[in-house]
Structure 1
């Protein structure tokens, strides 16, 4: 049963994770008032609060937005118009008044439409827009859209009435992203704001007469990145990661060993790990494409995970300072990594994922297995093939990860072996050995470490002549 809201609980209320995923990210939260049937306190992820009444009319569920939360007022106003900030007491009066309308066969939203739309904030409209997007079929980007609103859009223009937003205000989040040196994010915000304001002006909503974000060109040209680290560079990054301490160092090495995304590695939780089976399961809510991914873990990868002993909080996060969220501060960590590694050409942490993919190709791993490890749905699993082909390639993925782990630890991180491998005109003997048993691979790795003579003896073992 819902508890009665108080002024203190309203003031201290915060967004919570979804009930279906209590350890997941914060989501828009509705807190019912036990003293006033149908009244809810709505708390956005960015902290904005408002009042809403849920009721039924003509057998259909309806929602009436009462207005933003007002922490206090010396004298309560009994008949505030909808859209104005309301205290708890005033929201209860408004809810009672609306329910009385329903009891007399009148829908309170019918008379509230003009006032509500005139006073609707960008945050209110965004709330409805995101609900609309979540209801769409096959929508894999709503999570990123919500993140953009919470981190880049609502903090800038969230409390402004959507009907009053000017062209310059609509573009402000994009300008700020550009000023921060994030042209790619500026382009993403440009696309999100364009779609959002167009939706607000559509005939089904008509929150605004016309979009204030129209006629603007994409702010920046983009070229697809193709940076792949050389094996010498990868070795330098691996060794330099030791300078980053007990959080960022293991993260960088796990990025190299597993090929997963930075956010996925940084957000690893104890509950995602099955050490007995050497598996790491990335849940759908943490995967970029919303699809669960099962990543086989090699011995070196498990060693990096097990070396992290500082686990605090109840969420089971491996890499955290607070116990509530994964570590942050990658920009400074990357600067330190660059200084220690000394690479001549600029690179990003995401380039490690592309290097991983390229390495699998070099080792002869089939494309569909590489895509499965990267949790890609394009290529061989796109379209109809992806609907009917449900094989997860678990054994093939484990085999590929074992080969990649051997390559990183025994070739990339050994100067002699790396140099010998780079000079080979025919790498097929290495590929054959690296996918074989442990003894056979150790002989091949030893031959690479032995230089030209060692490799020649490996390919053409000397024949013992009987005495």
Structure 2
């Protein structure tokens, strides 16, 4: 196969045509002693020069190192040789890369077929779309702005567990497959990404173990104490989750347009709810104070806007905040000689459900109807009742949330709860 032109497309299309397994060497017509060494399995940039002995310097694999980049490096080597400073090949330091930058590079490679061996491997549009959905829904907010070299297995597992706890097993399994493939690619292209190990390689597809973790009353108090040490935007996001039992994505992605100031409620569209139906959170009075506080704090389209992105987008950096809250909770627990079991934010939903169902009136009878609590959790009511009863239980749900706020006040104490209502310094 003849190379008709020296450009990215032509180099990608060029196939090995050597004999006996001996690599071909294609010389760059622009000079700088640059060659593309083509074997049956790879394409490698090399520079051949006398220093004063004949020397071959490897620059990198194509297309991970593109044509323009290879020419720039070859020209730099030539200048160093002429200046007498070329004593040995010098490798360039790997630039710190965020997960989002690495992900975009991977998706581009899968779109154009430019994998690190130079072989054609183009994903179908629906496959690429599925990977992008997993990234946006599960990983982007949590790790997108983080260094791709700093991600650990535990935080990836936590993110997957949040999805599984919603009962979205197929979605969780797809996310595992996609994140494993991404970090596998990142490790193979370590010269670009800097990734030395795949933190997702031990994540398991098909896990179905149901979590039953929920906070004890002591842990609820330690949680509130830890959260109050966070910046106001994260403090309020976590507190709203505790007081309502909302799912993480429902709370952290709240939009100003979803706030109903007349009804003192949050009206979320079906597209934002797991059951796929519109839902109204007729929250309690303290939760509403938090919502009003966030509305006053900025003009963003989101109640919890990103503090790092130039674009108007929801908050990100959840993983680092989660680690701090866990650490501060453990410090409080150690004062009582106890150790806190690993938890994720979704465990607050079980805490809300368990606590609300355990509340008793003065006669030691159940205080709140079980189906009202289930409706607060936006669980689907099945059977004939779910078909015929189309009441939205607005007031009943508000009573549940209000009673739960009262219970949290008893658990953590009036002083700490007062700081939640009116934080010092806000």
Higher relative contact order (CA 8 A, sep 6+): 2
TM-score by length of 2: 0.50
TM-score by length of 1: 0.46
